[in-house]
Amino acid sequence: MAVVCALVITIIILVYFISCSHHNSVKISTDDKINITPEQIAAIKNIGQWEFLAVSDEEMVDTIRKGIFSDDELIRIYYGTLRMGIDMHKVGPHWIKIKDKDIEVILPPITLLDNDFIDEARTISFFESGRWTENDKQDMYNRAYLLMKEKCLTHENKKSAEYNAGRQLYSLFKNMRYENIKIRFSDK
């Protein structure tokens, strides 16, 4: 009797497992839905300043001070690198909009990222005669500073930096598998 009961219980268990496993299947599929997480958005924003164009420049600045017996002259050469890009800390509250496979990004305008762009260690006194004070040299520095900004912060250079920003961000979001990517700047 015990053997028959054990055999009946074994058959019932086998029938149960066969019926349960009959409805189970394994499928492999891909999820094409794109979900950018808040952490990824914060990581992009936390990049901080993102450089897209660097322009190196040198300016020769001279000054002459007329004297009674002789003139004093000072000629200095200043070197600098102006870095243009975007400050991701200045993005607006709704700077990124996502809908299915579409993404729209609104970036802050291209700006000069660092106002201390003159490399004072490379400044050369090309010619110096007479006595010059630190104030005189500071005035020359200020002139060189303004000349570099005027020469390098042009509309063409800003357009080039915008183009580079658009290309890099387009590539970033394309790698995240977005299909329709719209990137624009908040000053446009």
Residue 31 has pLDDT above 60, yes or no: no
Q: How confident is the model at residue 181 (pLDDT cuts 50, 70, 90)?
A: very high
90-99, 113-122, 169-178: which has the highest mean pLDDT? 113-122
Domain boundaries, the chain: 34-185
pLDDT at 129: 85
Residue 10 has pLDDT above 90, yes or no: no
pTM above 0.85, yes or no: no
CB-neighbour burial class of residue 108 (10 A; exposed 0-12, middle 13-18, buried 19+): middle
Of 32-46, 53-67, 91-105, 130-144, the range with the lowest mean pLDDT is: 32-46
CA distances 132 to 2, 82, 102, 166, 179, Å, are 115, 28, 62, 48, 62
Amino acid (one-letter) located at 154? T
Concatenated DSSP letters for 108-126?
PPPEES-S--B-GGG-EEE
Structure tokens, 82: 């102006």
